[in-house]
Amino acid sequence: MIGSLDALFAATTLFVGGHFLLSSVPVRLALIERLGETRYLGWYSVAMLAVFVWVILAFVTAPIETLWVPPASLRWVPAVVMPLAIFLIVCGITTPSPTIAGSGPSETGRDLTRGIIRITRHPFLNGMALWALAKDNTRCKEATLGARVPGGRGTAAEILTNALRLHGPSDENEGAAKALAGAIMTFASNSREWQEALAELDAPAVVIAALDRHAGLTFKGEFDGLRSWLKQNN
């Protein structure tokens, strides 16, 4: 069950829900009493590993769809949130935690409820959650779109489009074509400004021509969300 957003949602829900369910006190104690702590940890690890593999396969094969384009009014959010996210991630990696498998409050020689653990039990997970929610490259794309190469050789959009247009058709140039086409479509992803600028330069037609010219050039569905933009501006 892979290849769709529904499959990715189901796998992720089972992975997260499984952790909450199997590690909850009533369920955990009942399973330990029936199986023993060692066998419980073993089966728990096997089950979560299997679901995690499903999450990876579902993610790799899921279609890429643009669900939301952040408005300009929210471009300040990453600059504020990312420092806190990085702080929590570093603290989570460097601070001993009683939530780590095999740890316990009875361990001697160190206080397992010190530092960041007194504020949150899962600093690393909270940091990653903030990073995932706040991460956005809109500001980077906007800055790159307006950048000009010294000497008046054009904008980044013009340089990428012209380079892809002028690259040779031979097989030895396929790597360059993939890099240039990938860069163009990466900038076009979730950025209306880039899409408009590239469309004015006929970049969609140039990308499609490169794909037709090189039979082995493929991105394995990475830019499926741009199909309509490519066709409309070809």
The segments of the chain whose pLDDT lies below 70 read 65-75, 97-114, 135-153, 168-172
Torsion angle, CA of 201/229/193/83, rounded to 10 degrees? -130
User: Which residues in 155-189 are b (16+ Cβ under 10 Å) and which e?
Assistant: bbbbebbbbbbebeeeeeebeebbebbeebbbbbb
User: What's residue 152's pLDDT?
Assistant: 52
User: What's residue 10's pLDDT?
Assistant: 92
User: What's residue 11's pLDDT?
Assistant: 92
pTM: 0.46
Partner residues linked to 232 by β-bridges: none
Pair 98, 23: CB distance under 8 Å: no
User: What's residue 51's pLDDT?
Assistant: 92
User: What's residue 3's pLDDT?
Assistant: 81
